[in-house]
Structure 1
Amino acid sequence: MPPSPLEQQRASRIADNKRRMQELGLEEAANGVKERAAAAEKPVQKRKRGGDAEDAAPAEPPRRSGRQRKEVSYTEPRLADVLASAPAEPEREPLPAYDPPAGPPAAQVAPSFDASEGKRDSKGRLVFDGHPDFRPNLTPKQVIQAGSFGGIYFNPVGGKPGILGKSVAISHKEFPADWFEGLPAKAYRARIYTMGRNKYGVKAGQDQAFWEEKGWIDPQDPRGWFQWYCRFYTGRRSKDDERQISRWKGVVGEKGRWVRALVNKIIRSNKRWDDATVSPVIRQTLLHWAFELTEDEFERMVNEVL
């Protein structure tokens, strides 16, 4: 069947266009465009498991940002690593060393303050006149009796020599005897740190030299925050109180980073607030800062803070 007049006209126009492109030298360029278009439409052949097929390379490499991407880690950092990265405190005028008053510890207790139990609010947190933001829920006695600091905190000459230039002396006799009642000496003034002496059976915290390097230690209380707390609890007040209370707030205050971390871990693990298998290291750390997570504190954090 002969072509129709319309088909003949179309064939004639195609032949004319081809001839013109040859005359202008554009035929090879047109063929290249067609080949690239065909390659782009061709589906990428994926490598099959156990097969010989090769992955088809894209026509052009993908564009990448010039900015360096931050490496993402899906593992939680160790508490020791987080503490090691904490910024050092700015230099300040050191306070003189503190000489405990002579006489029995009971004479050191400030009037109107019951050092055996302390004043507590409706949620069981301790109350200190003039310091409304300082609300630990454990007394020094409770911290010691629970099992803390690997049993070495009150070693008479414990601690590695650090910036202060010598081992730091401390005596448990400065404080009321009932704080240590019923405990063997190795539970609070041993020479070697033992994890089994801690309530949660894990190691938590750094050594004396590390504390000093970070600028956290003042000659007034060379054993650090807990020594300050023991003396504060028994009635001493000093120029270092606000700094030490501020440090406590950063750990276990209303928005303390470590108590929030513990609550978040409990929620993610879908376990009870008192399940000690959830972050025992953080729980031991909080204990050293005179704080234990209670059901009331857990509910408060969930409802008011998180």
Structure 2
Amino acid sequence: MKDIAVDNIESQREENIKRNRERLRQLGISLTPSASSRDAVKRPPPKKRKLDHVLPPSRSSARIASTPARPSYFSQGDDGKDVTSKARKRGPHEAPKKTRVPVVKEDTAPMPVKDIESIRAGWTSWVPTASPPARDEDYTFQFRDQPSFRPNKSPEEMIREGCFGGSYFRPLYSRRLGTTVFDDHKELPSSWYSGLDVSKYLTSPKYDVEINKYRVSSGQSIEEWEAAGWINHKYDIRGWFQWYCRFYMGRRCEDDERQISRWRKCVGDSGRWRRMLLKKYVNMGIREVFDDGEDEEGRDVSPVMHQTCHHWGYEIRQGDLERFWN
């Protein structure tokens, strides 16, 4: 009985198919696929073209979207190319290696007012606990308690020669603290900037490349440093250079080791910026260091790298270059 039922269902299905085909024929609808449709069925799917660049993520958190673009220590060289592009050979489809930016683990919401006031007090309540540094025959500073920290530019020299586009001590709004800081340059010894136009060399609202010693733009803004997590608000709301000024004046704090470690990695004996600049001299066959403007016939050796090193309290000296050549 079951087989008979199945046969009946199958025969009924075939009759329905014939009846439907006849109706389609009467309507002028053909069931035979066209050549183009057959080709479309048989044609394999197109291969995806490999991209020569890495696409940005399609989604990001609201917190990340609200922050400025991530800063990078990599600057453009004299020819407009990234100075790190020659660090190693890349494949034709390999994207350039990007700077690793520290993850900001702290909440970026403003702190309560009472915490801000206590932090503000900490910025100005410190007293010098270390003696001034000595300077050796190479004009390198020697700090007795930090022998690995050996800048050869004092904060005063950096200010007078021109650094940070003259805007380092401009009024600064901290997104982290939700407050604006201004006039904190007045804690510096007045002798450091006497005779200078403070509104040009320290508190300019705009970054002016003509103020910089090498007449080029270099580095990122303090706001970008804050967004990257490089600012320790408890000690120095403006970051590295403010820390260096206070360290030079004799302050010592828990943030010293971190800042000195950053200095060593940038312009210390094996610092990446120092080595890249010295290598630039060697590649250009230059054996003598000169200040831009003094030797008009000399070739410029990456003013951007020079200005970057200058921002970190270091300048290439003849002895450094000779040792690197050897």
TM-based fold match above 0.5: yes
Residue in 2 aligned with 1:176? 189
Answer yes or no: is 1:201 the counterpart of 2:215: yes
Rounded Cα–Cα distance in structure 2 between residues aligned with 1:299 and 1:91:
43
Q: Deviations over 1:124-163 (max 9, x none)?
A: 21111121110001111111111111111122x13x5444
**What does 1:82-97 align with in structure 2 at a 5 Å threshold?**
85-88=99-102, 91=105, 96-97=119-120
Q: Does 1:284 align with 2:304?
A: no
**Aligned AA for 2:222?**
Q
Question: Quick one: which of 75, 79, 82 aligns to 1:77?
Answer: 82
Map 1:37-56 onto structure 2 (within 5 A): none
CA distance in 2, matches of 1:169, 1:83: 37
- 1:199-278 equivalence runs, <5 A: 199-219=213-233, 220-271=235-286, 272-274=288-290, 276=292, 277-278=300-301
Extract unaligned runs of 5+ from structure 1: 1-67, 103-107
The reply on whether 1:300 has 2:323 as its aligned counterpart is yes
Distance 1:238 1:170, change over 3 A: farther
Contact map agreement 2:139 2:152 (CA 8 A) in 1:
yes
Aligned length in residues = 221
Find the aligned partners of 1:176 and 1:230 in 2 and give their Cα distance. 10
CA–CA separation in structure 1 for the residues paired with 2:291 and 2:97: 24
* Amino acid in structure 1 at the alignment position of 2:320: E
Is the contact made by 1:147 and 1:187 (CA closer than 8 Å) also made in structure 2? yes
Alpha-carbon contact 2:231-2:238 (below 8 Å) kept: yes
Q: Distance in 2 between matches of 1:137 and 1:201?
A: 20
| Structure 1: distance between partners of 2:123 and 2:204 | 23
Q: Deviations over 1:96-129 (max 9, x none)?
A: 4533249xxxxx5546x24xxx302343211111
The separation in 1 between residues aligned to 2:257 and 2:106, in whole angstroms, is 13
Q: Distance in 2 between matches of 1:131 and 1:189?
A: 30
Give the equivalent residue in structure 1 for 2:201: 187
Structure 1 pair 141–274 and aligned structure 2 pair: CA distance change class (3 A)? same
Equivalent positions of 1:48-127 (< 5 A) are 76-78=81-83, 85-88=99-102, 91=105, 96-97=119-120, 98-101=122-125, 109-110=128-129, 113-114=131-132, 118-127=133-142
Q: Spell out, residue by residue over 1:82-103, the C-alpha distance to the aligned partner (whole angstroms, 9 max, x if none).
A: 997233167589994533249x
Instruction: State the 1:75 CA deviation.
Output: 8.1
When Rg is computed on C-alpha atoms for both structures, the one with the higher figure is 1
CA spacing shift, 1:297–1:215, aligned 2, 3 Å: same
CA–CA distance in structure 2, aligned partners of residues 177 and 170 of structure 1: 13
The 1-side partners of 2:98 and 2:185 are apart by 29
For each residue in 1:176-228, what CA deviation from the matched residue of structure 2 results, as whole angstroms up to 9, or x when unmatched?
10000111121221111110011110001111221012211011201010000
Q: For residues 235 and 92 of structure 1, do their structure 2 counterparts lie closer, same or farther at Cα, with a shift above 3 Å needed?
A: farther
8 Å Cα contact 2:104/2:227 also seen in 1: no
The CA distance in 1 between the partners of 2:249 and 2:174, in whole Å, is 28
* C-alpha contact 1:151 1:197 (8 A) present in aligned 2: yes
User: Are the equivalent residues in 1 in contact too, given 2:129–2:252 (CA < 8 A)?
Assistant: no
Residue segments in structure 2 that go unaligned for 5+ positions in a row:
1-49, 54-78, 85-95, 108-114, 293-299
TM-score, structure 1 as length reference = 0.64
* C-alpha distance in structure 2 between counterparts of 1:199 and 1:275, whole Å: 10
TM-score by length of 2: 0.60
Identical aligned residues as a percent: 38
Q: Which amino acid aligns with 1:216?
A: W
- Paired with 2:216 and 2:97, the residues of 1 have a C-alpha distance of 16
Find the aligned partners of 1:83 and 1:284 in 2 and give their Cα distance. Answer: 23
Q: 1:171 to 1:275 in 2, by over 3 A?
A: closer
Q: 1:75 to 1:196 in 2, by over 3 A?
A: closer
